[in-house]
Amino acid sequence: MNPKELEFNKNDDANRMLWSRYQKLAKQIHLGGGEKSQSKQRAKGKLTARERVNYLKDKDADFLEIGTYAGYDMYP
């Protein structure tokens, strides 16, 4: 392997690890504060934000969430 290939492979590995980390984080964020928070919402007779969006959009329509990470880790 030449130095460019080595550098490419190193960068590729780093990017794949970073992408994996962001995918895990997105799954955590999509829990909406976890089951405890969702249960509190439902106990108050409220829907979660994602449930409200699902009621608004067509059943077979795709939905692209923009700003998944906005506000992440800003509040205790």
| Encoded tokens for 4 | 């460019």
Q: Is residue 76 over pLDDT 80?
A: no
Q: What is the pLDDT of residue 56?
A: 94
What is the C-alpha to C-alpha distance for residues 24 and 22, in angstroms, rounded to an integer?
5
Q: What is the pLDDT of residue 9?
A: 96
- How many residues are present in the chain? 76
Interval 13-54: pLDDT, tens: 999 999 999 999 999 888 877 888 888 999 999 998 889 999
Q: Determine what percent of the chain falls in helix, strand and coil, rounding each to the nearest 5.
A: 60, 0, 40
Angle (nearest 5°) at CA 48 between 42 and 49: 160
- Indicate the burial class of 27 (C-beta count within 10 angstroms; 0-12, 13-18, 19 or more): exposed
